[in-house]
Structure 1
């Protein structure tokens, strides 16, 4: 028998799970998401979250509380009379009183292979660290930071060509399918849990803009993974110095290349850049205030050759 569910999520990553739960017959009685933020061309219009837009299209009631720690918020949550809550990148801590409300518990879909990369930015951090694989896990929530018992998992290889956007887009539908299967197992009474290991715990701290500047003195593979882990947001960047006014460039996609030189040196006319060990070739980039573009399009407007450099 399908469940009465509360769904709690905010970004694009959460939307496939909401859609799959509804498609499989579960009754989503309420959607909790973050409040709209100013956006649009001039930042004047309030922009609903991707989850709110989808919930309203489906006719599901939407709630955007600023906190879940008040008696009023607890009473409102309890009034939904839900069997379980499904949480996907909600962005707000659930206090114990809220976790205790649903009859069967609160279940989180997390974008890493726990206990590796607990926290806010697991997709970015896995790429930036050079991990060979990532994945999604369904976890029964407790009050810790992604410390709950794990029920099910799916793994996915990370290639050097993958950006954070690529990995996000691969994990989101994988996670949606996993959560639907987890709810099916929970219905049948067959969802089993295991405690997370205390070995291998790492934390995926929120990405800070100060991290985005490229350090060309690092080995080429580390530079590539740094660039791809921050693509498209906030975007790893460097300053182009070709004898004129320095121009900030976001580097969004690259590949390993042959060659060597002083870190940051442009090695040829096809955007090969020297690193501390080896080199990378820029494939997609963005001038400050401009649209992203392929390397060939960039070179038509800004032909770069040695001795230009990226600092």
Structure 2
């Protein structure tokens, strides 16, 4: 239906838990300006019921399942999402709603524009007028904002902190939203998430030279141990409206995953193996310790 389609995302299988990642232009046809996730949706509720004039979206069922109903003003089509490695790409100008949420479902939405209430069409009658009168919509590219650079040699665990994110509580389910240069001090260039982590396994065990991250327990809980080569600090993440901001030059280990937990990571750079420091001795040498 009008370029609405399912996009297969990478699924990197690992005995320690699976990982799916996505970045533009490899896996989605737009730059990410906003990320939000919907959780705690009561049974029988419907979310959405609106369209966007300019915004594109990619919707993923990270956990559980739900249906996305797409309506172009002439016909409807239902897409059932129930796999963490599939995303539904919805171009601008499509009326959509989300329904039939399973218990403990978690919906992740990547959006091409920052929040703009003027971009929403919330009345179906107004939407029908829009579809009959609107000409081709031109999506204006957003200029990337340069982040503040830090010297990874000098960073410490005190540069990392837990950020309180907005929790928009609603009867139909909660939403937490993160926008570039708003809730996080960087532009989001990559999104990935860990899931199906067996009990007793740990992830991480590396540091980054230039990458900034916001790590969220979008579902369940886990512990993150931060290490700057001198001091260590353990932080428990167990709320989907809190994120751990991690700067470059910090070694991290993630463990104590609860059953069914999901570790969501928003990253400042696209994947680059050269940015990883995977040997702890190399890490302490780079930190001049």
TM-based fold match above 0.5: no
**Which is greater in Rg?**
1
Higher strand share: 2
Decide which structure has greater helix share. Answer: 1
Q: TM-score, normalised by structure 2?
A: 0.29
Task: Give me the TM-score of the superposition, normalised by structure 1.
Answer: 0.28
